[in-house]
């Protein structure tokens, strides 16, 4: 089973989703990428995932072009807001899904508010991807 998670920057939401999905089942292949990969992970995303018991600090922020020639069981986009365009994936895919989340890296305000957005989105990603896992992957094994 191979799953590719896509967003724009591949620094925050897709990385958190990647970490959670891999933690649910180490036997599936999970990768994440972005159409405009930032080349680095968002430090706050790494922090809130570490607090949830998942270390994503070793992940890389990769361009979607790295994965275009591979075949995927699932390609999942995680873009959220109406002003965000989700990346299109032109590679070989059995099932395309969209599970959208707000981008906490765009939060403005106090440090406390910004961190609360990272926690909120992290928890929403965990719940959304666990639901996906139970309905789609666990049942296929």
Instruction: For residue 21, give the nearest of 12, 6, 11, 31 by alpha carbon.
Output: 31
Residue 86 is among the residues annotated as catalytic for this protein: yes
Q: Which domain holds residue 116?
A: 2-140
Token pair for residue 18?
């990647």
User: Following CA atoms 133, 41, 47, 45 in sequence, which dihedral angle do they give, to the nearest 10 degrees?
Assistant: -50
| CA distance linking residue 16 with residue 90, whole number of Å | 23
H/E segment holding residue 76: strand 71-77
What's the structural domain count of the chain?
1
The answer to whether the beta carbons of residues 19 and 129 sit under 8 Å apart is no
pTM: 0.93
Question: Each residue of 77-91: pLDDT tens digit?
Answer: 998 755 566 666 777
* Section 101-129 average pLDDT: 97
pLDDT tens-place string over residues 19-35: 999 999 999 999 999 88
Query: Residue 45's domain is classified under what CATH number?
Result: 3.40.50.2300
Distances 28 to 31, 53, 78, 86 between C-alpha atoms, Å? 10, 19, 19, 24
Q: What pLDDT does 85 receive? A: 62
Would you call 12 a catalytic residue per the annotation? no
Residue 31 annotated in active site: no
Percent of the chain whose predicted confidence (pLDDT) is above 90: 76
Per annotation, catalytic residue among 6, 7, 16, 76: 7
């Amino acid at each position: 089973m191979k799953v590719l998670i896509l967003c724009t920057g591949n620094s925050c939401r897709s990385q958190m989703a990647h970490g959670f999905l891999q933690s649910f089942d180490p036997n599936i292949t999970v990768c994440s990428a972005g159409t405009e990969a930032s080349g680095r992970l968002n430090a706050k995303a790494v922090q809130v995932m570490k607090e949830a018991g998942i270390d994503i600090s070793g992940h890389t922020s990769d361009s979607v072009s790295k994965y275009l020639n591979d075949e995927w069981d699932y390609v999942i986009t995680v873009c959220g807001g109406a002003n965000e365009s989700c990346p299109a994936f032109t590679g070989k895919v059995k099932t395309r899904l969209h599970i959208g989340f707000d981008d906490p890296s765009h939060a403005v305000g106090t440090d406390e508010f910004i961190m609360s957005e990272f926690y909120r989105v992290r928890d929403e990603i965990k719940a959304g991807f666990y639901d996906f896992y139970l309905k789609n992957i666990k049942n296929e094994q």
